[in-house]
């Protein structure tokens, strides 16, 4: 077996290439990859924003509100809610489950590239480093369940809490990486 490349995995002595990584690498050019990843991750938001501007009733009211944001607001209110005559009930439905799954799968190549750029090694130290964030996410959800967050409750309900925890995690990792880089530059 030859040397493993960056994203390859050895299973049973055989080299297995990461399918997602290989597909993304064939689409994105080597140069300017940061700009391509930004475009890759922001494109769905731009398309969604354009859809809201052109077809607000169809895209926001009948899709985002009814299936995505409305159930979160209903969960925070503890009862079904309406917006522009469209009723939303709390909980998961087939549409939001598929959308959330697609969003996670879509973001994985970008997350992998981000972690590779930071030269993150997946080991016990990484798990211990993220443990406080995972515990904080659960604690924030518990505070919401107790009704202690008032008007901010919608940000501590699934899936909104994932956005909050991800933003905290990314900002923490960027600041820690920046500090480590500065310390290593000073020690030279």
Q: Give the tens place of pLDDT for each residue, 145-162.
A: 888 888 888 888 888 888
Q: Any idea what the Cα angle at residue 149 is, between residues 143 and 151, rounded to 5°?
A: 150
pTM for the full predicted model: 0.64
Q: Report the distance separating Cα 128 and Cα 163, nearest Å.
A: 21
Tens of pLDDT, residues 34-86: 677 778 878 888 999 999 999 999 999 999 999 999 999 998 888 999 999 99
Neighbours of 42 (CB within 10 A): 11
Q: Report the distance separating Cα 65 and Cα 82, nearest Å.
A: 9
Is-contact 120 144, C-beta < 8 A? no
Backbone angles phi, psi at 11, to 5 degrees: -125, 120
């Amino acid at each position: 077996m030859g040397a493993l490349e960056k994203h390859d995995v050895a299973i049973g002595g055989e080299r297995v290439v990461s399918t997602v990584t290989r597909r993304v690498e064939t689409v994105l050019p080597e140069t300017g990859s940061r700009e391509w990843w930004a475009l890759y991750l922001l494109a769905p938001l731009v398309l969604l924003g354009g859809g809201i501007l052109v077809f607000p009733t169809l895209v926001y009211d009948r899709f985002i509100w009814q299936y995505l944001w409305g159930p979160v607001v209903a969960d925070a209110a503890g009862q079904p809610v309406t917006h522009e005559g469209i009723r939303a009930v709390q909980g998961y439905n087939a549409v939001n489950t598929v959308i959330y799954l697609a969003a996670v799968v879509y973001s994985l190549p970008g997350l992998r590239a981000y972690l590779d750029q930071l030269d993150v090694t997946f080991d016990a130290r990484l798990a211990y480093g993220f443990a406080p964030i995972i515990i904080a996410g659960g604690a924030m959800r518990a505070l919401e369940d107790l009704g202690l967050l008032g008007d901010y409750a919608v940000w501590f309900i699934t899936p909104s809490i994932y956005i909050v925890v991800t933003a905290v995690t990314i900002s923490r990792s960027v600041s820690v990486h920046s500090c480590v880089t500065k310390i290593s530059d000073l020690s030279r």
